[in-house]
Structures are given as structure tokens and as C-alpha cells.
Amino acid sequence: MRIRLLGGFAVDRGGRSVDPKVWRLRKARTLVKLLALTREQRLHRDVLLEALWPDRASTSAMNNLHQVLHVGRRALAGDEPSNGLLELRDDFVVLLADGLVDVDVRTFERLAVLGRTSGDLADLRAAVAAYAGDLLPEDRFEDWAVRPREELRATFGNLLVDFADAAAAAGQEADAFDALTRALAIDPLHEHGVRSLMRRHAATGRSSEALAQYERLRSDLRTAYGTDPDPETQRLYQELLTGTVTVDAQQRHNLAPALTSFVGREREIADVHRLMEQGRLVTLTGVGGAGKTRLAEEAARRLVDSYPDGVWIADLVPVADPQLVADTVAAALGLDPAAGPDSTRTLIARLAPRNLLLVLDNCEHLLAACAGLASAVRRSCPGVSLLATSREPLHAPGEVTFRVPSLELPEPADADALDRLGTLSSVRLFVDRAQDVRPGFVLDAGNAAAVVEICRCLDGIPLALELAAARASHLEAAEIAARLGEALSLLGRPGEVTRHATLRATLEWSHALLSDDEQVLLRRLAVFSGSFSLRSAEQVCADDRIPGPEVLDVLGRLVDKSLLLVDHDGPRSRYRLLETIRQFAYERLVAAQEAAPMEAAHCRHFLELAADEDPEQGGVVVERPQLLDADHDNLRGALGWALRHDHQQALLLGLSLSPYWLARGHFSEGAGWLERVLEVAVEPSRERARAIFALAILLARSGLSDRLPGLGDEAVAIAEQSADPLDLVTNRVLRGTLLLGSGDLDDVEQTAVNALTQADSLGAAPLAAAAQGLAAMTALFRENAELAQQRFEECLRRLGQLDATAVRFFPAVTMCLPLVPVGGRWIPVFEETFLLGRRVGAVQGTGYALSGLADAHRLTRDLDAAQDAVRRSVDTFTGIEDASGLGHALNHLGCIERDQGLFGPAEEHLREALRIRQQLGDRRGESLTLANLGLLAAAAGDPGAGRRLTRAALDRGEAVDDAPAAGGALLNLAVVELFADERRTARILAEQAVEAFHPQGYLRLEAWTRLLAAELAADDGDTEVVNRHGPVAAEIFTQLGCRIGTARAAALLTER
């Protein structure tokens, strides 16, 4: 029996097709399809009941299942015995009890792997031929079929490109062109495919077509994502222009270049590849220094072409917190961190459609977290294979372990057989590394015995051999062997030296050869997590024993002696210790009684580093979050130490890191750290209050607004205990700012009025301006345009009277959800972040107040006045070189110009805002500007581009669990469909946006989205939807005091 799913469902039995008429029940066919799609061809009955009868009671659904199983058996078996077909065993339904049925999808996948691995034209041709069409086209709208169909299409597209390259190499240009045409029909933005087609055009003398192909790709990418082609594609284009076509291979991995030769291990690589063919989780185990990482890297490097989405390695050495494993893997894949609380779930969702190899390196200190992630990947990501390295197994389901052996050792007698001796992997490694530091070193009769002794004493452990070979620069092999023997005699009994003891002996011996200052610096460097800069080494490790100016020289000597690695990736060199060396060095640090002072110095240094980059520490607030990326692991380590030893430093460090977490999208991680900080730093203080507000902003970005009122109250309670009345006014203003998105704008209004009175009575002009700004924003949120304009003008007057260098006092807030003209109706759109998380000074506050004034003019539909105000905002931020504020103002200006029909200037300003936000690393800002470009495209008459851009923003928000941004993107997609006059689709999207906003607690967003859904339903005469959303929207608007919303809702409900 053979089941066909590609190109349509069919069953072949005994060489003949089963008549489709025998399938009396459609769900019997669906059940067989679901089983055939799984690799094991079995599913738990509860999975099938939920898929086939989600609304039926369990007893009724089970009765239906038994009936469907009976019909399915008859259809598959015909007049023959059922022979175990569609049996229910131990709560699992199996397609065939005694084996697997031949399914064409599995055949295609097997042939695709074979073809892409071998690169052989015949293998690739067979794989292409096995793809008979898209998966189950008759079920194109079934949710369960969508993802596997897209995965198979992507695999087929990649296969076509590989086939085209192989066909072209064989001189079969017609086949190559045909395959590339089919591949680009599947994915027009497949850059490898586009490059291959460009090369084919160029090879056949059609350079103009090749250049035109590039121009089409560039245009499509800019329209879809606002980006340009990859550097490889741009390089090919330039080479076509100059007539020299040479293109580097496509980057499909993040494996570091091999800086030294890979010696031996061919058998082990073959074993690892064989195990990976048998299972999707292989763990390389062994002691530190056994070569697990290098073997994993080389085994993975040779599989790059076997995985369409590449090979990616995640180094877990610097990760101390199991909660950060998923975000670390995401970073290795080039993905943004999750914004929500469940980073593993987010990562799994993003990996699910991919076909790649993921290497988890150094898992031993994170076994439970790595095992959980591996289990989730195996369960939910069928195209992802895992290769892990660890000193012990992960103990995850389905894991296959491979203990990395020592390199092949010589026998004592081999010293007399140089030809054989030179072929042994341990000897080859030692000789190869010795030649790296001493080019004239050769294996000869004079040193053969000593080399044999070294390899045997070190038990063939690669790291030990490399450390020993590093001494060949100034020691002969016999001298190395003699010293090694002396070290070993101190650590174990003769003949019973374990590998662990051998490695320790090597490190002890290597350490003993260091000068005093080298030993001191080596052990002190153990306090760093991951890599570190020269400046950090100087600041943390220098003292009277190693003065700061001498640190560089000692670092260089440690690099020369293979105890320290140096990375030249980026504008500044970074250094790092191998983990086994770091652990050894840390033991030495403890023995020297320096661990406590060095860890304290490490924490102080990274507190200073974070404070230097804390935008609230300067006069003009300037964000440079990307500068802290390289030291993220050290900052985590410093914060973890401070939580255990110095709660005040933990509080200060958490405060300084809050803007970094906010800008880089580490919402969940940052909130987690601040929760822990606040648990230990319990003394009421100004800093604790600031940390509470920082936590509130991070929670708000994740859509967890229900906690904001309580956090605001707690911060005010702290200020009430302060002797400084200004603290109380400050915190009341900040609390009111947090509550702007809640349902109690009366409270916010009273807070603003009282704070203004108190600030004026205290002569605190900056705080009075901030309170005036809060009052203006309250009027804006209540859609009282006249009052908002008056208050913003007064706020601007107050700001203009202040010293430009005044400390930060003004919370930056935006309206977030303005109304824009669409088809004769003013519709809500999600344009900007509500709580920007910045406190700024007078000049920057002026820029934000002008932006708020512009939105007040938009409420009265005076777009010219709005444009004038926001242009003044752009000028203000430009004058003080505030890139973040400028990005906001340009984004705002582009949106207003869109509403004015000035599409050209709008695109120019929005794209400049996008460039600035990308340069800043402002991930939320990037997504919002991308969505605004989508709205612009739709307004300008290109709904296709509008959908692509806005959908890209939605994907970004959902990928990192940024609930507000995802809800806003759904709302904007609905507006895009309204621009396209696709009202039915707009209604569906508006309903989805309501569902997204409802649990978040941002009432004005929810009310306007409900009103939009109700108004669209009213246009279609759908009173049920009007009655579901209209009254709720009206109630919220009344509660908030929103003038326009209340009037619109009342008019709608009056007409129903």
C-alpha cells in the first residue's frame, strides 16, 4: 500500500488506485491524512478528537471516532482483511499496527536530503521528480495542513535551486533555467535562487536580464521589508556591472572560522553523522578538554549543505541562568529575544517551520533547561536536528549519546616506526600545534620517544596536547616530557592517572611555567563571563602587582601561550578564556583568597560601564544600547553577584540596565531581574522607586498592564516617607503617567492638577512643566482637543523658561492611537509606543510636547497645524542630536503627511525614521515604523505592499511576544484592508485585534478597536456583532471621558 499526499490525496493498493467513492465519510479521509503526515504514523486519540470534533462531548466524539475508523479500514483494505489498519491501541490510533505505510512525503524528504547532501545531479533530479505537487491542495484552508505544506514547498524551492546549480555545472542550461523559474515562482525573494538565475543569464550572454533580475529583487525587498538585497547579491550585481562575475558561497551558518587545522577524528565524525541520521538529538559527552566542541563544530560544518536553513551553534558557557537558554539560542540564530514570559515557547514557535541543525555547546551546567528545550524541539520542530556537547548526558527523551574518545595513542614501540607514528592522531595533533609556534619543528628519531611519552602521559586529550605543544617554542620535546612527568607524579598514582587528573596536571604544569604576573592575571580573568575588553581587564584586574599599563603586555603573553583567546570581530579586540581554563583559573583565584575582591571589582566596573551608557545619567538623554551587547553576559554575571552580596549595587545596576533591556527587547528578562532586585533591595529609597517604575515600563511592553496601578502606588508610598517633597510630586506624576492607559482618567486628571499646584507652591518649575504635560496628555486621551491644545501650549511655555541643562524630569508619552481618514471615516491606527520609557530634560521635553500638540490638532482634523507642530518637534530633536527623539518625530511627521496625501515626503520621512531606529537597535520602534510604511503603501494605492509591510510588523511582534505591538499590527492590517475596500477581511482582522487588546488592559485601545468592529458590522447589517462590541465600547468611552469615542458610540447605538 502507498499513500500519496503530494498533488492530492490518493491511496494505491496492490498497484491500483483506491476508488475515491469508497470514502463514505470525509473525516475518514482526514483521519488517514493526519496519520500519514506524522513520521510515526500514530496519534493519540485525544489529538484526533480535538482535530475532528472539537465541539463534541467526549462520549459523542469517541463514538464518531469508532465509526470513522471502521469506514477508513474498509476503504483502505477493500475486500481483503484489514491486517492491523487503523487500529486503536493503548489510546493511540495507528495507521498500520505492524509497520509503516509507504507515504510519498517521506520518500520526497528522504530523496531531498540525499540530493542536497551529495550534490549529485542524478540524486537531485530524482528528488525534484518525487515532488508531485503541493501537499493536499484540496485541504488548502485546513489549519493542520498549512504548516507542513509551506515547509514542503520551501524544501522543494531550495531543492530546485540546488538542482539548477548542479545542472548548470553539468552544462544543462535549459534544465537550470526551468528549475530556477519554478523556484522563484514559489518564493520570488529567494536570494540564492535569484543569484543563480543572474549567473545563468550572465553565462548565456544576457547580462541585461541579469541586471534586471537584481532590480526586481531590490524593488520587491524594499516594498516588502524596507531592506536591500544581501551583500552577496549586491556583490554579484557590482561584478556584473564590471564584467567579472565571482560570488562567494552563501552564508548559512555562524560557525567560527577554523583558526587551526582539524587533526584526526574522521572516524568520530562518521559515527556522529551516522547517529544523527538515526535520531534528531545526539549529545557528545566527555571530560573538559576532550575536544567535544571542536568535534561538534567540524561535524556540523560538514552538514551545512544538508540543512536548507543552515547550521547554527549556541555557546552556553557564559549563561548562568537556565531561564536565559532560549534567548541565548535565539541570539545565536540572529533572532530577537522573547518579550513574553515563556521564551522557550516563543523560540519553539519560530523554529517550527525551519529545517536546520542546532548545536548546543557546553550544556553541563544547564542540564534541565537544555533537556527541556531539546524535548520541546523534538516534539514541535520536525525539521530541526540537535547536536549537543556536555560533560554528561542531558537525559532528554530520544537522546543518543556519543562519548568523545581520546585521540589515537602510540605504543612505546612506535617510537622506532616513524612512518606509523606520524599517522596517529594524537601525535599528528602535537606535531601540528608545535609547528604553529615553532615552524622548524619536525618529528624525527631524536624526539620520537619523547613525543610518544607526551601523548601517552596526556592520554591523548586534545586540549592537554595543545597546551603542551605550545611550549615547543622554547622547550625541546624531551624537556616537555620531563616536566609533564613531574607534574603528573604530584596528582595521581603511577598507572592510574585519569583523564580528569591528566588534564588538571597539564593545566597545573602550564600554570607553573607562567611568570608571577601571568599567574596573577590569569586567575583574575576568571571572574569574567564570556568575552571581555582590554579596558575591562585593566579596570578589574590591575593593582600594585599588575599596574594598569602592564595589563596589555601580560594579556598578549597569555594569548601567545594558548591560555587566552583573542577575537577580532568588531572595532575592538575581545578576549576570552576557554571554559576549562577559566574553571582552573577560578580555583586558583579562590586559593589565593582573591575571589571576593575580584568579583566585587568586576561588579563595580560593570556597574560603572552600565551607568556610563544609562541615558538618564547625562544632560541630554542619548540611547546607545548596542554598546552593551558585547558585555551582556558580564552584566548578567555582575548583577547575579550583586544580588547575592550587595543589594544596593544590584539596585543601581538594575536601574542602569533598564533602558538597555527596554531598547533591545529584553522585556521579560529585564522584568525578571528587576523583580529579583526589588525582593532584596527592600529599603525605601529614591532608587527603589525608580526601579519600580522601570519594572512597570517593561511589564507594559509585554502587555501586563494590570500591575501598573499597584506599582505606581508603591512608588508613591515610598516617596511619602521621603523628607524631600519634590520626590512625592515626581512619583505622583510618574504614577499618573502609568495610569494613562488604564480606566481611571479622573484619577490621572486629579493627580496632574494636584501635582501642578504642589510643584508651583514649591517653586519646582521643571516638575510643574511635567505635571502640565501630564494634564495635557490626559485631555488628549479624553479627546478634548481644545483643552489639550491649551494645556500643551502652557506646557511649552513652561518648558521654554527652564534651564536647558536641568536634570531629567519630563516623562515621554505619546497618544499611540490617533484617528486617520479612511474612506470618509476617521479610523483608529496604532502608530507609536504609548509609554516610551524615557525621562528627558527641558529641550527634549519640548520636542515631545510639540508632538503631543500635533496630535491635539489631528483631533480637530487640522492637519496643517499638526504638521507645523511636528516639524518644530523634528527641528528640536535635530538641534540637540537626539537620535531617539528624532526617530519618533520623523515617524510622526510621516504619518501626518500620509493623512494629508503627501505620499512622497511621507515615505522619505518614514524610511529615515526606520533607518535611525535600526541604527539605534530600537526593535519596537522598527516594527512600528514598518507598520506605518504599510499603512502609507495602502493609502497610496498599493494594498499588496501594505499587507506585506504590516504583516512583517505583526510577525516581529508575535515572534517576541510583544502583545501590544502585535495587537496594534492586527488593527493596522484591518485598516490596510479598508484602504483596499476589502471590508470582509477588515472585519475579521478587527475582531482579532479586539481579542488581542482585551486582556492587556489598555482600555482606550480596546474601546476604539471594538467600535471599529461594531461600525463595520453595522455597515453590513450585522446587529449581533454591533450588540456585542458597541455597548462595551460605549461604556469604556464613558468611563474614560473620551469625547469623540463617546459621541461615535452613541450615534452607532442610536441607529441600530
> H or E segment at 281?
strand 281-285
Query: In this model, does residue 226 exceed pLDDT 90?
Result: no
Give backbone dihedrals phi and psi of 574, rounded to 5 degrees, phi first.
Answer: -130, 145
Greater confidence, 196 or 90?
A: 196
pLDDT recorded at residue 703: 79
Query: In this model, does residue 333 exceed pLDDT 90?
Result: no
Query: In this model, does residue 492 exceed pLDDT 50?
Result: no
In single-letter form, the type of residue at position 611 comes to: A
pLDDT recorded at residue 953: 92
Helix (H), strand (E), coil (C) string for 818-884: CEEEECCEEEECCCCCCEEEEEECHHHHHHHHHHHHHHHHHHCCCHHHHHHHHHHHHHHHHHCCCHH
pLDDT recorded at residue 624: 62
Query: In this model, does residue 911 exceed pLDDT 60?
Result: yes
Which are the contacts of 704, defined by CB distance < 8 A and separation ≥ 6?
1000
Unique residue bearing C-alpha cell 551582556: 632
> H or E segment at 29?
helix 26-37
Fold classification of 741-921 is 1.25.40
Q: What span, in angstroms and rounded, lies between the C-alpha atoms of 877 and 890? A: 10
Average pLDDT rounded to a whole number, residues 644-664: 91
Query: In this model, does residue 258 exceed pLDDT 90?
Result: no
Q: What span, in angstroms and rounded, lies between the C-alpha atoms of 586 and 594? A: 10
**Helical H segments across 496-631, by residue range:** 499-512, 516-524, 534-541, 551-560, 579-591, 595-613
Note the pTM of the prediction, 2 decimals.
Answer: 0.69
Cα–Cα–Cα angle for 747, 706, 966, rounded to 5 degrees: 115
For the chain, what are the domain ranges? 2-100, 266-403, 412-512, 516-593, 601-697, 741-921
> Do the bridges between strand 356-361 and strand 384-390 make them parallel or antiparallel, or are there none, so unpaired?
parallel
E strands present in 365-491: 384-390, 400-403
Around Cβ 533, how many Cβ atoms within 10 Å?
Answer: 17
Asked if residues 839 and 1028 have their Cβ atoms less than 8 Å apart, the reply is no
pLDDT recorded at residue 960: 74
Q: Which 8-state DSSP code applies to residue 335?
A: P
Cα–Cα–Cα angle for 1031, 1037, 1039, rounded to 5 degrees: 100
Q: What span, in angstroms and rounded, lies between the C-alpha atoms of 667 and 341? A: 9
Instruction: Of 289-298, 338-347, 443-452, 498-507, give the lowest mean pLDDT range.
Output: 498-507
Picking from 381, 394, 273, 281, the residue whose alpha carbon sits closest to that of residue 333 is: 381
Q: How confident is the model at residue 493 (pLDDT cuts 50, 70, 90)?
A: very low
Picking from 957, 955, 956, 994, the residue whose alpha carbon sits closest to that of residue 974 is: 994
Which are the contacts of 438, defined by CB distance < 8 A and separation ≥ 6?
472, 473
CATH class assigned to 2-100: mainly alpha
Picking from 776, 791, 783, the residue whose alpha carbon sits closest to that of residue 736 is: 776
Query: In this model, does residue 1041 exceed pLDDT 90?
Result: yes
> H or E segment at 792?
helix 785-800
Enumerate long-range contacts of 124-128, CB under 8 Å, 24 or more apart.
124/159, 124/162, 124/163, 124/166, 125/163, 127/159, 127/163, 128/156, 128/159, 128/160, 128/163, 128/179
Q: What span, in angstroms and rounded, lies between the C-alpha atoms of 732 and 740? A: 13
Picking from 481, 527, 539, 530, the residue whose alpha carbon sits closest to that of residue 506 is: 481
Lookup: cell for 443? 618529528
In single-letter form, the type of residue at position 365 comes to: H
Q: How many residues does the chain have?
A: 1056
Asked if residues 279 and 400 have their Cβ atoms less than 8 Å apart, the reply is yes
Picking from 297, 298, 290, 266, the residue whose alpha carbon sits closest to that of residue 391 is: 290
Picking from 1050, 829, 822, the residue whose alpha carbon sits closest to that of residue 940 is: 822
Ramachandran region, residue 247 (left: φ > 0; alpha: ψ -120 to 50; beta: rest):
beta
Say yes or no: do domains 2-100 and 741-921 share a fold: no
Q: What span, in angstroms and rounded, lies between the C-alpha atoms of 481 and 493? A: 17
Query: In this model, does residue 527 exceed pLDDT 70?
Result: yes
Beta-ladder partners of 400? 282
Query: In this model, does residue 257 exceed pLDDT 90?
Result: no
Give backbone dihedrals phi and psi of 251, rounded to 5 degrees, phi first.
Answer: -75, 115
Average pLDDT rounded to a whole number, residues 616-640: 74
Asked if residues 196 and 161 have their Cβ atoms less than 8 Å apart, the reply is yes
Beta-ladder partners of 576? 565
Unique residue bearing C-alpha cell 544609562: 614
CATH class assigned to 516-593: mainly alpha
Asked if residues 946 and 980 have their Cβ atoms less than 8 Å apart, the reply is yes
pLDDT digits (tens, 9 = 90+) for 58-71: 777 787 788 788 77
Q: What is the mean pLDDT of the chain?
A: 88
pLDDT digits (tens, 9 = 90+) for 374-408: 999 999 999 999 999 998 899 999 999 998 888 88
Query: In this model, does residue 613 exceed pLDDT 90?
Result: no
Asked if residues 154 and 187 have their Cβ atoms less than 8 Å apart, the reply is yes
pLDDT digits (tens, 9 = 90+) for 919-941: 888 888 999 999 999 999 999 99
Lookup: cell for 252? 548559512
> Do the bridges between strand 102-103 and strand 2-4 make them parallel or antiparallel, or are there none, so unpaired?
parallel
Q: How confident is the model at residue 643 (pLDDT cuts 50, 70, 90)?
A: very high
**Largest separation between any pair of C-alpha atoms in the chain:** 104
Q: How confident is the model at residue 249 (pLDDT cuts 50, 70, 90)?
A: very low
Q: What span, in angstroms and rounded, lies between the C-alpha atoms of 911 and 905? A: 10
> Do the bridges between strand 565-567 and strand 574-576 make them parallel or antiparallel, or are there none, so unpaired?
antiparallel
> H or E segment at 282?
strand 281-285
Asked if residues 954 and 969 have their Cβ atoms less than 8 Å apart, the reply is yes
Specify whether domain 266-403 bears CATH 3.40.50.300.
yes
